Amino acid sequence: MTAQNSPATKCPMQARVCSAGHLPFIDNALRPLIHSPRKLFGPYVRSGYTCLDIGCGGGFASMGLARLVGPTGTVISADLQPEMLQRVARRAQREGLADRIRTHQCRSDRIGLEQQVDFALAFWMLHEAPDPAGLLAEVYSLLRPGGRFYVIEPGIHVSRELFEEALQDAGEAGFTIVDTPRVTMSRAVVLGRS
């Protein structure tokens, strides 16, 4: 969930949306070597889970999550940009994962889902949200009790101070910190809903 031209005064974390033109730099053959989906998400995702990949981009994380949830699970790949969702759908078809990946187009101000999920992911996208606190509250409402929300932000774009502000917003939404994994070139936290 991102907005392209929101005023910068609304939220200090927000930035421009990562366009499809940037995908070769962040979603390429080297990415799984740097950010292994199995290592990153495996401790938190089980077979049969319903997972939400917010700001899915070209689908790097969605494909990894789809392999983890198995044939009885579902991944909802959510993005604001239709071209990203088309890429995810084509990629899922090519990789034999189309039966477990569903695309969903967000609005600029909301994810807009009704379905509850076991696990949600915001990988390098929270800083793009026009209202990170609102996004955190919406994700909290979508998670089942015991669900996990994995937030990973790029260390180069998001300072420690801004990341701490996001953690305060998460606490106000009702989340507790479950884990603080180390993720290459990133700041990361796993939040839990009790």
Domain ranges in the chain are 30-192
Please give the radius of gyration of the chain, using alpha carbons only, rounded to the nearest integer: 15
**Higher pLDDT pick, 10 / 137:** 137
What's the pLDDT band for 1 if we cut at 50, 70, 90? Answer: very low
Say what the pTM is.
0.86
CB 189 within 8 A of CB 151: yes
What's the pLDDT band for 157 if we cut at 50, 70, 90? Answer: confident
Average pLDDT score over residue span 67-73: 98
- CATH 3.30.70.100 fits domain 30-192: no
- Give the pLDDT confidence score for residue 34 in this predicted structure: 82
- Give the pLDDT confidence score for residue 27 in this predicted structure: 63
Query: What is the average pLDDT value for the chain, to the nearest integer?
Result: 88
d(CA 168, CA 9): 19
**DSSP one-letter code for 126:** G
